[in-house]
Structure 1
Amino acid sequence: MRVVVAFAVIAAALAGCASPRHAMVGNASRITVAPDLPLDGTIMQRVTAIICAKAFIDPQPAPADALAALQNEAAAIGAAGIYNVKYAQTGLLDRCGIMPGTRATAIAYRAGG
């Protein structure tokens, strides 16, 4: 039984590493980063992006890289912008495993709502 559980945990961890990355969306650079929800904005959903280092000895990925990936995620759902952006280092149980990583989360909104 322990072998089955260990195998399931390892398979789940490797599946997270093998998940496909979203292709860059053409208008990701148009995603506005705002400190608060604009008056004409309508909340869509929370978006999250995690950037992992390539190797265990590499430094923590920069927040700017995580922000670019976050803007890509927001563009993929058709958002006009994001607000309330927060950054955090990833832990051992996150998608990066033992590699250093940076997670960015924000709330996506659409304009003119």
Structure 2
Amino acid sequence: MRIAVACIAIALVLVGCASPSRNHIAGSGANVTVAPDLPLHASIMQRVSAMICADSFIAPTPSSADALKALQDEAAAIGASGVYKVKYAQTGLLDRCGLLPGLEATAIAYRM
């Protein structure tokens, strides 16, 4: 019985740690450009991703514009000047959004 309670407690702690932060700094990614291809003289940094979750079960899936804004914020946080090859994917059941609908944006960050 104690082992079962301990396992449940550990699972709840891990779920709490894995849940995305709903607070992000607005406008920090305003200077990050979105390009279809890697510009000349740019150096590739790394792949970045951002996931936006709906506020409730009945809320619609977040828009691609919201996911792009979060992606630009993530790229700005690592010092990138732009991203390219942006792709969107709806999150599945029990992803970082839990049971809520969500949208994930991924891209490759670069610096000029």
- Same fold at TM > 0.5: yes
Partner of 2:75: 74
Find runs of 4+ consecutive structure 1 residues off by over 6 angstroms.
none
Deviations 1:19-75 (A, max 9, x none): 47442354x122111111112110011111110000011000011100000011111
Gaps of 5+ in 1: none
Give the letter for the 2:8 counterpart.
Answer: A
Q: Size of the alignment, in residue pairs?
A: 110
Write the distance in 2 (CA, Å) between the matches of 1:77 and 1:24: 16
Inter-CA distance 49–18: structure 2 relative to 1 (3 Å threshold): closer
Counterpart position of 1:7: 9
Q: Is the 8 A contact 1:44 1:108 kept in 2?
A: yes
Using structure 1 for the length normalisation, give the TM-score.
Answer: 0.86
Distance across 2 between alignment mates of 1:9 and 1:92: 17
Aligned residues of 1:25 and 1:76 also touching (Cα < 8 A): no
Who is 1:45 aligned against? 46
Structure 2, gaps ≥5 residues long: none
Aligned counterparts of 2:64 and 2:20: Cα–Cα separation in 1: 23
TM-score (norm 2): 0.87
Identity across the alignment (%): 56
1: CA distance between counterparts of 2:20 and 2:36?
Answer: 34
Residue in structure 1 matched with residue 96 of structure 2 by the alignment: 95
Residues in 2 aligned to 1:30 and 1:49: alpha-carbon distance in whole angstroms: 17
Query: Would the aligned equivalents of 1:25 and 1:75 in 2 still touch at CA under 8 Å?
Result: no
Aligned-residue RMSD, C-alpha: 1.7
Q: Could you tell me which residue of structure 2 aligns to residue 59 of structure 1?
A: 60
2:20 and 2:96 in contact (8 A); partners too: no
The code of the aligned residue for 1:55 comes to: S
Alignment-mate amino acid for residue 61 of structure 1? P
